[in-house]
Amino acid sequence: MEQLIVTVLGQDRVGLVATIANCLQKYNINIIDITQKVLDNNIFSMVLRVESSENTNLEAFRQEIKDIEQAKQLNIFVQQENLFLSMHRI
């Protein structure tokens, strides 16, 4: 099981949260926390802290996220949480 941070950036529109949530569900990835904000430059941003399961195929998940990125013209980043903890927590 891995703790991941999924960050979504792009133009706001209906159904974004559902698209990402459905994808997470498909790969049995649990959402621990979720926040969303519109940044100063009018960019929609959503950050999800998620946890994969033992049967999660992370490689396939990353590929599907890439497909969603292209189809919906979003920037989506899937990164292990430790990176952020190392940069922002002493």
Partner 1 sequence: MLGHLEIIETIQMLNTQHLDVRTVTLGINLIDCIDKEAEVTAQRIYEKIVRLGTPLVKTANQIGEHYGVKIVNKRVAVTPISIIANACNTNDYTIFSQAMDKAAKEIGIDFIGGFSALVDKGFTSSDRHLIESLPSALSSTERVCGSVNVGSTKSGINLSAIQMLGQTVKDLAIQSKDQDGIAAAKFVVFCNAVPDNPFMAGAFHGVENADCTLSVGVSGPGVVRHALSLLPKEASIEEVCETIKKISFKITRMGDFIGREVAKALGVQFGIIDLSLAPTPAIGDSVANVLEEFGLSSVGACGTTFALALLNDAVKKGGLMAAHRVGGLSGAFIPVSEDEGMIRATRDGHLTLEKLEAMTAVCSVGLDMIAIPGDTSSDIISGLIADEMAIGMINQKTTAVRVIPVPHKGVGDTVVFGGLLGEATIIPVNTCDCSTLIQRGGQAPAPLHSLKN
Answer yes or no whether residue 87 interacts with partner 1 by CB under 8 A. Answer: yes
Answer yes or no whether residue 75 interacts with partner 1 by CB under 8 A. Answer: yes
Considering only 12-20, 21-29, 63-71, 73-81, which stretch makes contact with partner 1 by CB under 8 A? Answer: 73-81
State the pairing for strand pair 30-38/44-51: antiparallel
Which of residues 14 and 87 has its CB atom nearest to partner 1 in the complex?
Answer: 87
Q: List the one residue out of 30, 9, 4 whose CA is nearest residue 72.
A: 9
**What beta strand segments (E) does the chain contain?**
3-10, 30-38, 44-51, 75-80
Which of residues 9 and 21 has its CB atom nearest to partner 1 in the complex?
Answer: 9
**How many residues comprise the chain?**
90
Q: Which chain residues interact with partner 1 by CB under 8 A?
A: 5, 7, 9, 33, 35-37, 39, 45, 47, 49, 62, 75, 77-89
